[in-house]
């Protein structure tokens, strides 16, 4: 989420205090927060996939998937665990999860063309037992329930950039997450728009922080930081 990341980090870095960074800060809205943007993106990616078999953008790179998969292995997440990929995009993470032995996989996205692309990508890999469906996570009511694991890579970031109502969208996201995860279920989020502290603040109600996954760091002007945060939470009722 390059252009979004730059603006967002800009705004985060100009904040004065820890309190400011944890407050109800809004990111500047962006086209990345609209469904039209994602529909257009996946329409192009679907054409490219049909033409040359390229699945398209892997958000935050391959290592962002490896990091989560390694954690799942270490945490001994069962291969039968029900896993939900929130905002699955091209479904590349579902392919990785299936290739690592996970058998109960669901991917959702509010973009119909994303789901078409993910379906084509999964089919090309011979993965016919992965569920993918067009669902708006902010409006999923009883459609999604009882997951052991929820994964988000870049989706909460995109939702936070909604030009219409980012504040409400973020609250709805937390509510949906609370309702789709089982008690003690885990949530693994990778974000480039929010810092660890901001994510801890956002997911403090109904969730317990488990750990931060190591991400590459950079040093600038004597300060060390990360451009991506990857955190694990546990649902607590």
Ligand X SMILES: C[S@@+](CC[C@H](N)C(=O)[O-])C[C@H]1O[C@@H](n2cnc3c(N)ncnc32)[C@H](O)[C@@H]1O
Return the number of the residue (111 or 198) whose C-beta is nearest ligand X.
111
The least distance separating ligand X from the CB of residue 18, rounded to whole angstroms, comes to 27
Return the number of the residue (110 or 207) whose C-beta is nearest ligand X.
110
The least distance separating ligand X from the CB of residue 150, rounded to whole angstroms, comes to 12
The least distance separating ligand X from the CB of residue 60, rounded to whole angstroms, comes to 7
Return the number of the residue (22 or 37) whose C-beta is nearest ligand X.
37
Return the number of the residue (131 or 184) whose C-beta is nearest ligand X.
131
Return the number of the residue (76 or 141) whose C-beta is nearest ligand X.
141
Residues lying near ligand X in the complex (CB under 6 A) are found at 1, 38, 58-59, 87-89, 92-93, 108-111, 114, 136-138, 153-155, 158-159
The least distance separating ligand X from the CB of residue 95, rounded to whole angstroms, comes to 11
Secondary structure string (H, E, C) spanning the chain: CHHHHHHHHHHHHCCCCHHHHHCCCCCCCCHHHCHHHHHHHHHHHHHHHHHHCCCCCCCCCHHHHHHHHHHHHHCCCCCCCEEEEECCCCCHHHHHHHHCCCCEEEEEECCHHHHHHHHHHHHHCCCCCCEEEECCHHHCCCCCCCEEEEEEECHHHHHCCCCCCHHHHHHHHHHHHHHHEEEEEEEEEEECCCCHHHHHHHCCCCEEEEEEECCCEEEECCEEEECCEEEEEEECC
The least distance separating ligand X from the CB of residue 54, rounded to whole angstroms, comes to 14
């Amino acid at each position: 989420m390059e252009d979004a990341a730059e603006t967002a980090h800009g705004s985060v870095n100009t904040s004065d205090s820890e309190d400011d960074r944890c407050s109800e800060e809004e990111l500047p809205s962006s086209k990345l927060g609209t469904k039209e943007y994602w529909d257009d993106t996946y329409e192009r990616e679907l054409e490219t996939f049909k033409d040359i078999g390229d699945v398209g953008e892997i958000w935050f790179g391959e290592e962002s998937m490896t990091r989560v998969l390694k954690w799942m292995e270490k945490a001994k997440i069962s291969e039968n665990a029900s896993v939900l990929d929130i905002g699955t995009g091209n479904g590349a993470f579902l392919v990785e999860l299936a290739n690592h032995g996970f058998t109960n996989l669901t991917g959702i996205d509010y973009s119909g063309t994303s789901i078409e692309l993910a379906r084509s990508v999964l089919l090309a890999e011979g993965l016919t037992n992965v569920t993918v469906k067009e669902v708006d996570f902010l409006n999923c009511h009883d459609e999604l329930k009882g997951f052991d694991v929820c994964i988000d890579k870049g989706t909460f970031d995109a939702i936070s950039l909604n030009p219409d109502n980012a504040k409400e969208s973020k609250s709805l996201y937390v509510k949906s997450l609370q309702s789709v995860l089982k008690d003690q279920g885990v949530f693994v989020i990778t974000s480039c728009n929010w810092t660890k502290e901001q994510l801890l603040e956002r997911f403090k109600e109904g969730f317990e922080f488990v750990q931060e996954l190591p991400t590459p760091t950079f040093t600038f002007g004597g300060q060390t930081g990360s451009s991506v945060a990857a955190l694990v939470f546990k649902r607590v009722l």
